[in-house]
Chains A and B, each alone.
Chain A
Amino acid sequence: MADASDTMGDVIRRHGRRYAAPPGLAGRIGAALDAVETESGRPSAPVVPLRPRRPVVPWRPLALAASFVLAVVLSSGTTWYVTASDRQDQLAEEVLASHVRSMQAQHLTDVLSSNQHTVKPWFDGRLDLSPPVVDLTEQGFPLVGGRLDYIDNHPVAALVYRSNQHVINLFVWTRRSGGIAPKPPAEIQGYHLRQWRQGDLTCWAVSDVEGDQLDRFVKDFQAATG
């Protein structure tokens, strides 16, 4: 009987579904927390503001009004900028949420290999792009593996690197819009983010390593793949 119970447990563990929080939920919760904060005037005491957030309530109407006026005068340049900048913020939140999710052991990698020749072909047939995969062990960023992730309603490649005990997630997808994207926030909630373009690819690196360490990673990655 004890054995029978155990094996039922095995079946449950093997087949039972673990639901992952939908993308965007973390961002919505963050926004709701901010709203509560503003409303209640609860004294939060971040000694140094972690992220120079655009104040949501007072500024957005102003920005919209300004963009409207300017749009009339100067065609729609400003409107584009405001929208694009919001979009970068939203993407940054999604990238960060994916990073945080991936830190839960079962989600970090779909293909676990430090061999770039194993990781790269794994993406073939799973994505509409072939992400540049390089091992950066010599530079201090060993490749851990890769996985499929989902950002901005599209499947994307996530390459996983390590820097000492820290994980760096590198998200890569095919560019979806032209033009120059405004700079996204470099830091959210203590995590650092870097975004750049490489050929027709959009790349985002996110990690809890120090900012200059992440800059080094980006440079090394670009040097090795560029």
Chain B
Amino acid sequence: MTIETGPRQFERLALPHLDAAYNLARWLTRNDSDAEDVVQDAYLRAYKYFASFRGENFRAWLLAVVRRAAYDWMHRNRPAEIVSNADMDLEAVAGEAEDNPETALLRRADANLVNEMIAALPVPFREVVVLRELQELSYKEIAEIAGVPVGTVMSRLARARALLTTDGKRRLKEYGHG
């Protein structure tokens, strides 16, 4: 019996993760048609290396390829977004976080506000929020996808939530005055 590594076998493994792949690409590119291009590009890349895939977690491996393809797309199309975030001053971000009760924010947050807030997050934070909160992946999987240690995933997630809180309050205030 020959092991099948053709397109159909790849599709059987990869297509069940198409929504997860698209969701990640869509949040990173913030655009429907670019997300489609990125996912298609990623699936072709993944297929190319599929025969040599030896890992245990196919989903994490595939999403890592999707993330890579999305980053390549951003390098070409939105270099500023990547450069400005690569060396983000994380300390400053953490310092900004407010720790007063956020009941008003949590009460008033609706889908519009939440989605605007996620979209406005810097890329390294946006991707962990999407993978953790929206895709419900484990820290370990996210670490594998983003190519960083688990501890970094956790600290990024904590900072992302703090950023979201700060940003949400600012938005509410703006809406209040607008």
Interface residues of A (CB under 8 A from B): 1, 4-5, 7-22, 25-26, 28-30, 32-34, 36-37, 44-47, 50-51, 97, 100-101, 103-104, 107, 189-190
Contact = CB atoms under 8 A, between A and B. Distances in A.
B44 interface: yes
Interface of B: 1-12, 15-16, 18-23, 26-27, 32, 35-36, 39-40, 43-44, 47-48, 99, 101-102, 106, 109-111, 113-115, 118, 129-130, 133-136, 158, 161-162, 164-165
Given A4-B101, A11-B109, 14 more contacts: A5-B161, A8-B161, A12-B133, A14-B114, A16-B118, A18-B19, A18-B23, A18-B134, A19-B26, A29-B39, A33-B7, A44-B4, A44-B6, A107-B19
A21 B26 CA distance: 9
Contacts, number: 139
Contact of A19 (B35, B113, B129): B35
Nearest to A100: B15
A32 B8 CA distance: 12
Contact of B1 (A5, A9, A15, A47): A47
The secondary structure that dominates the B interface is: helix
Given A12-B164, A16-B114, A18-B134, A104 B19 contact: yes
Contacts of A21: 18-19, 21-22, 39
Contacts of A190: 8, 12
Nearest to A22: B36
A29 B158 contact: no
A117 to B, nearest CB: 31
Contacts of B26: 19
22 contacts: A4-B101, A4-B165, A7-B102, A8-B106, A16-B114, A16-B118, A18-B19, A18-B134, A19-B19, A19-B27, A21-B21, A25-B39, A26-B18, A28-B36, A33-B7, A36-B48, A44-B6, A47-B2, A50-B8, A104-B20, A189-B15, A190-B12
